[in-house]
Amino acid sequence: MHKIPIQIRFSDIDGVGHVNNVVYGQYFDVGRLQYFHEAIGETMEWNKGKILVLVRTEANYFQPTFLNDTVEVHTSVVEIGDKSVKMRQRIVGTDGSIRVEGYSVLSTYDFDTHKSFPMPAEWRNKLLAFENRQTGR
């Protein structure tokens, strides 16, 4: 499991007094980018060439997060398809409580052809290898 602490910002808190539901999407982004950065490396830009784009997200909100809470985002790749990757992410308190659990599907996308393309073997291998190295952490 890839883990990274989240720096909560004052404006993340909404009028109800806890982290706004929408903001968790930003936390998930932090985890996802860091995951890809570590797993696949410097090769991925996000606005040109061959990349992965978010095509679906889902999230279940279990418990609120407050301004002074300490939380991490935990990220795993749970499925690698022909042209897509499915990830599971959780926002977890230092007490182990799961605040939010989300799933996201990313599709391959080529900015030049505007189409998806078969998942490169290199990406698949790097993702699998990285995911394996995280096991037990």
Q: Which residues bind a copy of itself (CB under 8 A)?
A: 6-7, 9-11, 13-17, 20-23, 25-26, 29-30, 33, 46-47, 53-61, 67
Contact in structure between 99 and 62 (CB atoms under 8 Å): yes
Pick 78 or 128: Cβ nearer a copy of itself: 78
Least CB distance from residue 26 to a copy of itself, whole Å? 5
- Least distance to a copy of itself, CB of residue 29, Å: 4
Place of tokens 């007490």: 95
CB of 136 to a copy of itself, least distance (A): 26
Dihedral (C-alpha) 113, 116, 117, 118: value to the nearest 10 degrees?
180
If the CB atoms of residues 22 and 128 are measured against a copy of itself, the closer one turns out to be: 22
Strand spans (E) along 6-132: 50-61, 71-80, 84-93, 98-110
CA distance 29 to 96: 21
Contact predicate 92/35, CB 8 Å: no
Residues in the chain: 137
Rank residues 34 and 134 by Cβ distance to a copy of itself and give the closer one: 34
Residue among 56 and 125 whose Cβ is closer to a copy of itself: 56
Q: Where are the alpha helices (DSSP H) in the chain?
A: 23-39, 121-134
Which residue number, 4 or 80, has a Cβ lying nearer to a copy of itself? 4
Closest distance to a copy of itself from the beta carbon of 105 (Å): 9
In whole angstroms, the minimum distance from the beta carbon of 89 to a copy of itself comes to 13
